[in-house]
A and B are shown apart, each in its own frame.
Chain A
Amino acid sequence: MTNDKIIYATYDDDMTLLAGAKELVAKGVHIRDVFSPFPIHGLDPVIGIKQTRLAICAFIYGLVGLSLALAGMYYFMIVDWPMNIGGKPNNFFYQNIPAFVPISFEFTVLLAAHGMALTYFIRNWTLPGVTARNPYPETTNDRFVMEIHPSDFGMSVEDLTAELQKTGTILIEER
């Protein structure tokens, strides 16, 4: 048995794969990844995938946006060029805060959303020109595939194949 063997086990149903994954994990199998045409709810804790921290990033980007908007408006309207609009001069920041609410809100959302989206693209490595890494083209249509590296947990390929066959897989391939 060489160390770089990868086993791909294909299923034709998300629920069969989920049940199979639970059984395999209970027997000590480590599932590296699962490729599916849509999110399989309940799978992540089974195969040990942690909840993403993207939302925390979005919150931080939002705070940056809010600070930038307020700092910008303070500089433009109060410090650099205070305008007297309809007899209402812009001398004090606190007096102008109500007028600054809409843009502060919009800019917060702008940076939170776009910052989060960029982080998402980079973390997923989904960018224009990137090559897809799914093992079979069918995984974006109606097939659900587990990727297992037997060397991760020291099980022989034969034993693993036997275990996989019990879970209702329709195809096992070694690469």
Chain B
Amino acid sequence: MHQEAAIREPLILGEKSYSQITDDVLASVVGKANRSWWIAFGIAAVMAAWGIGCILYLLGTGIGTWGLNKTVGWAWDITNFVWWVGIGHAGTLISAVLLLFRQKWRMAINRSAEAMTIFAVMMAAVWPGIHMGRIWLAYFVFPLPNQFGSLWVNFNSPLLWDVFAISTYFSVSLVFWYIGLIPDFATIRDKVTQVVPKKVYTLLAFGWTGNAKAWNRFEEISLVLAGLATPLVFSVHSIVSMDFATSVIPGWHTTIFPPYFVSGAVFSGFAMVQTLLIIMRKVMNLENYITIKHIEYMNIVIIVTGSIVGVAYLTELFISWYSGVEYEAYAFINRATGPYWWSYWAMMTCNVVSPQVFWFKKLRTSIGFTFFMSIVVNIGMWFERFVIIVTSLHRDYLPSSWTMFHPTFVDIGCFIGTIGIFFVLFLLFSRFFPVLPLNELKTILKSSGEQYKKIETTTAEEH
């Protein structure tokens, strides 16, 4: 058995047995939803309904209902797209990269972080979809044989790379997540007694048996999929950043974009994981599994990635001056002092200054403060994309076409709608799915469980 240093803090608190872990996690699946779940679900459903209404209005009337104009041709749509894709980075990072690094603390959070990833990428995919205007022609993005004299999609374009990157990332994350869920669905299947849930979970569990060879294959596929998903995580946001970096717009045309976007994505993704898990551990009584230590580890990731983002901002700023390109320099002066100065400084405060307070142990182990910061970081990261997109576009090469972007109620409604749909999906997940990976948690109970560590320490002292 794997031995862990006695001084390392336990990952599972309290007196737990294997069946206790099952019962704790399945309490919400087997029992009834509590009042707070229903309140949250109600609010999310209203937001989702409003958003779907706005999206239908947009599709029926046209993109002109957004506040876009001929100078600012990309605004909230792409901002929201990049924001959601960024949030969708934490799940696979946690489950794949931390699996390769043998970080056992990932086990309490990977299931819900992956669910969050999948829902966030779905919300991201909404934006380019509805931005097409004629969403029923969305299949044109794939290289399909067609009647226009074999007019293929352009494989040299980062926008097409994006299609491949996002669809690969989404489908591989989904499969990775589902393969991990199967043994836990089997646990629910063998545990529930009501007729309908039993039927549903039997179907979802795919007839999982849990024999030795199946587990052997399970561990192999988890490892290999993690190995495949790791470069995938880094590729997705790199390619998203190339949508901007390959175009000749001051403020976009920089080689720093791929690493800068990836670290920003991980930064915002972890913040969203914090937002969701801090609520979930409380509502679902999972404080023994998602401990303060887990929150602290995630805050450390936030400091690291937040600092990388800060360095990237400053590098960008310095290079815009050092390059001697006046257009580039102006783009940055305009960001910091132009009419959108407030969005630039909101971004700087939220993303560069505020994560640094996590150097104080008292703050990074405080649940309330972490929750507050997770919201601040997500606001900051939304502004980052807004700054990159809108402030680079609104004052272009031709001063006579300089303009401002004003969102309409459809812009706002669609954005709120995706947040609503995201939360509806996440709440349904937390209600009906095993939110912690049971099979993985059970493997670390004896090496990282609190009562087992106590026994180990006392026997070590006796010797």
Contacts and interface: CB of A to CB of B under 8 A. Distances in A.
Interface of A: 15, 33-44, 47, 49, 51-52, 54-55, 58, 72-73, 76-77, 80-81, 83, 85, 88, 90, 96, 99-100, 102-103, 105-107, 109-110, 112-114, 116-117, 120-121, 123-134, 137-142
B34 interface: no
B442 interface: yes
Contacts of A73: 155
Nearest to B179: A117
A37 B151 CA distance: 53
Q: Which of the listed residues A76, A102, A124, A133 has the most CB atoms from chain B within 10 Å of its own CB?
A: A124
B207 A33 contact: no
Nearest to A65: B168
Given A38-B443, A81-B152, A141-B18, A102 B203 contact: no
A110 B229 CA distance: 10
B171 A138 contact: no
A96 B164 CA distance: 18
Interface string B437-451: 011101100100000
B221 interface: yes
Nearest to B165: A106
Contacts of A142: 17-19, 22
Which secondary structure dominates chain B's binding surface?
helix
Q: Which of the listed residues B183, B187, B211 has the most CB atoms from chain A within 10 Å of its own CB?
A: B211
Interface in B11-70: 17-19, 22
Contacts of B443: 38-39, 41
Interface string B173-188: 0011001001100110
A29 B245 CA distance: 65
B19 A36 contact: no
Interface string B75-114: 0000000000000000000000000000000000000000
Given A38-B440, A114-B175, A128 B156 contact: no
A72 B176 CA distance: 27
A103 B162 CA distance: 9
A106 B19 contact: no
- By size class, the interface of chain B is 35 or more
A120 B221 contact: yes
Contacts of A128: 203, 206
Contacts of B210: 35-37, 134, 139-140
A37 B212 contact: no
Given A37-B442, A134-B211, A114 B216 contact: no
B215 A96 contact: no
Contacts of A120: 179, 217, 221
B326 interface: no
12 contacts: A36-B215, A40-B212, A76-B152, A76-B155, A106-B164, A110-B164, A116-B224, A125-B207, A133-B211, A137-B190, A141-B187, A141-B190
Given A102-B235, A110-B168, A41 B1 contact: yes
Contacts of A43: 212
Contacts of B219: 39
Contacts of A110: 164, 167-168, 171-172
